[in-house]
Structure 1
Amino acid sequence: MLEIIAVTLEEVILIEKLGATQVELISAFSEGGLTPSYGIIEKSLKNTSIGINIMLRPHSRSFTYSLYDLSVMKDDARVMNSLGVKNIVLGILDEKGLPDLKALDYVLEGTDLTMTFHRAFDSSSDLMESLEILKGYERVKTILTSGGDGRAEDNIEMLKNLIANRGDIDILIGSGINLENMGKINKELMNPNFHIGRSVRDNDFNNAIDEKGLPDLKALDYVLEGTDLTMTFHRAFDISSDLMESLEILKGYERVKTILTSGGPGLAEDNIEMLKNLIANRGDIDILIGSGVNLENMGKINKELMNPNFHIGRSVRDNDFNNAIDEKQLIEVIRVYNELKGK
């Protein structure tokens, strides 16, 4: 078995065309894979016949989930089942660091889904005990693993042990598999199943920007056709070839109500003059200032840009997107914002 990661419909189609065995469909490759949109799931199933395993993972903070997380995952599982998905990629650990079968039961209840237990397995407190637990759970057909922390090629003995004791579960080898080491790993593990990600990819983020580096209104029309949706044009704006020309293009597109920008590459506080220019020429579009806005610089930016709109991310999460929102930090940011606005 050769499974290749896909993040777009084009990649799913290409993977099937070139002869891989199956696809793992994800979003947010940089986060280790998160739940993809229902749109790409449905289109992938309709446009290909290759086996497609769908990631079910709401965030990348941990593999132990809150009741809120689990309720979202449960709804996602039901929708996936209704779309015709057969197998999902899922992993949940309990407080002891072992596979949480009760949580899996809750998420999968009312569906016919089978699953690959993903690399949460490698973060478990005991790989062999985790294997025995999963061998007793009928829905688990595959375990994706590198044999523990690090790359598969560094964990050959553990992988041999897992394969020797796998029972009816397929062991899928992932993490760091490439053309240079595939032959050696294949020989040592006697023809295992491979899971491939980075070694067939050039990192590519798909934004609504055309080849000239300007907002692509035709693409936006196509995506939004048949809806009443309005939109914020996100920070694809900041990597456009000409910010002022891009602003003029978007001012003529009725659905765009807001542009999220830091005034170009880098942090907002480093692009004050461009942000002033954008705000002065914005027309009816709201300019939302993001990237690096925090308690230390919010007052200065607010003064220089004369009470702009702010977009906050890292500064309420201890400067790490993998963290949950810190309630105290959020309260403080809102307090400072309200003071600046005279509320």
Structure 2
Amino acid sequence: PAPDLISEVIESVNIPVRVMIRPRNGNFVYNEDELEHMKACVEFCKKKGAEGVVFGVLHENNALNIEAIEMLTEAAKPLKVVIHKAFDNTPDLQEALTQLISIEGIDTILTSGGKSNAFDGAENLKALLKQAGTQIEIMPAGKITQFNLTEFHHMVDAQVYHGRLIVGELD
């Protein structure tokens, strides 16, 4: 989001705010200028009092760009860091998870288990949750709503979930 919107949201709500850091739509392969812009956005969010930042960076072959992720994670400290669903594009989810666990400062991976939605990726999500243990939080996402959360929880037994309609109507 634009810096003024980030500031307005952080100042207006009494809940933790995690800001998506994404310089443009499209793929998650970023050039040096885009990475520098992302770093500046991370630093802005830190200065404004965000709880965390959310990002993902890939190479052309869809493998994680570990160097860029490490640079952005370091810039974010002590904020929480969430790796978003760019993770789902990686060719080997288990290897990608191992790489992310090794980076100090990453708290959460937002994932549909490599599929278009969490239900289709449920088996992969269970495997990721088992592999992650307590080292990193796996947050299933993708078509999880207030109407199917209980069913989905029985399928994968995660600690946290993400969904646009997960809490129902808000006043």
Judge same fold: TM > 0.5, yes or no.
Answer: yes
Aligned to 1:127: 93
Aligned to 1:142: 108
Q: Distance in 2 between matches of 1:58 and 1:68?
A: 10
Candidates 170, 185, 198, aligned match of 2:137: 170
What amino acid maps onto 1:162 in structure 2? L
Aligned to 1:41: 6
Q: Distance in 1 between matches of 2:102 and 2:47?
A: 26
Query: Are the counterparts in 2 of residues 54 and 89 from structure 1 also a CA contact under 8 Å?
Result: yes
Candidates 148, 151, 156, aligned match of 1:189: 156
Higher deviation after alignment, 170-179 or 116-125:
170-179
1:68 aligns with 2:59: no
SS in 1 for 2:5: helix
Aligned to 2:117: 151
Deviations 1:210-253 (CA, angstroms, capped at 9, x unpaired): xxxxxxxxxxxxxxxxxxxxxxxxxxxxxxxxxxxxxxxxxxxx
Candidates 18, 30, 40, aligned match of 1:53: 18
Query: Are the counterparts in 2 of residues 121 and 127 from structure 1 also a CA contact under 8 Å?
Result: yes
TM-score of the pair, normalised by structure 2: 0.87
Q: Distance in 1 between matches of 2:43 and 2:64?
A: 21
Q: Distance in 2 between matches of 1:189 and 1:108?
A: 28
How many angstroms does 1:41 deviate by? 1.8
Query: Are the counterparts in 2 of residues 121 and 145 from structure 1 also a CA contact under 8 Å?
Result: yes
Q: How many residues align?
A: 167
Query: Are the counterparts in 1 of residues 113 and 125 from structure 2 also a CA contact under 8 Å?
Result: yes
Of structures 1 and 2, the larger Rg is shown by 1
Q: Distance in 2 between matches of 1:87 and 1:133?
A: 20
How many angstroms does 1:183 deviate by? 1.7
How many angstroms does 1:58 deviate by? 1.0
Instruction: Give identity over the alignment, percent.
Output: 29
How many angstroms does 1:178 deviate by? 1.8
1:88 aligns with 2:53: yes
Q: Let me know the Cα RMSD of the aligned residues.
A: 2.1
Q: Any residues of structure 2 matched to 1:237-276 within 5 Å, and which?
A: none
What amino acid maps onto 1:181 in structure 2? N
How many angstroms does 1:174 deviate by? 0.7
User: Where does structure 1 lack aligned partners over 5 or more consecutive residues?
Assistant: 1-35, 203-343
SS in 2 for 1:116: strand
User: Where does structure 2 lack aligned partners over 5 or more consecutive residues?
Assistant: none
SS in 1 for 2:81: strand
Q: Distance in 2 between matches of 1:89 and 1:111?
A: 10
Query: Are the counterparts in 2 of residues 173 and 192 from structure 1 also a CA contact under 8 Å?
Result: no
TM-score of the pair, normalised by structure 1: 0.45
